[in-house]
Amino acid sequence: MIVGYARTSTLDQIAGIEAQERDLAAAGCEKIFREQVSSVDVIKRDQLGLALDFLREGDTLVVTKLDRLARSVAHMHDLLHRITAKGAALKILNMGIDTNTPTGKLMLNVLGGVAEFEREIMLERQREGIAKAKAEGRYKGRAPTALRKIEDVTALHKEGLGATEIAKRLNISRASVYNVLKAAA
C-alpha cells in the first residue's frame, strides 16, 4: 500500500496542506495522514506516529518534501530505521528519492547531510548578525511579554484587581505583574 504523510507548521497554511494532499493523491497514495504542527514539536506529531504504525511490509510512505517529515539528519535516520524495520520504504517526491533502491538510500543520506549543513551555516550567520547588531547597539531583542502588556496590567490594577487575577487574565506570571507595576511606578 502507498501511504502519504502531509504536514504544515501552522493551522493557517491551508493551501500548503491541500497542495501536499493533491500531490500525494497524484502519486497514488491510498491513505493519507495529515497534521498541522511544527516539526520541532515531536510529541504532538500524532499523525506521523499513526502513519508509521500503519505501515506494513511492502508498503511505501510518501512525503512531498523531506522537511515535511524530518527535522534533522538524526531524526531522518531514526524515522528511516523505523520504516525499514517494518519492511517498508520511504519515497520523497520533490527529490525523486525512493529507498526501495540502493541509489535512493545513498541519495537520501547525502542530501540529508547537505540540508543539515546548510541549516547549521544559516544559524551560524544568524548568530554572527545578531552579535554584530548587539555590538553596534542596534539589536535589543524581543520585548519581554509582560512589559508589552504594561498598559493592561496597570489598568486592571487601577480597577482594584490583585496580582493573581491580573496574571490569570493576561496569561503572565504573578511575578511579572509585580515587575510591571514596579516599572510603571
| Residues acting as catalytic residues | 9
- Partner residues linked to 7 by β-bridges: 35
Residues near 23 by beta carbon (within 8 Å), at least 6 away in sequence: 64, 93
d(CA 11, CA 175): 32
Q: Which of 22, 47, 23, 32 is nearest to 2 (CA)?
A: 32
d(CA 26, CA 51): 18
Burial class (CB in 10 A: 0-12, 13-18, 19+), 131: exposed
| Beta-carbon count within 10 A of 86 CB | 16
Grid cell in block for residue 62: 510518501
d(CA 33, CA 49): 10
Contact 37, 11 (CB under 8 A): no
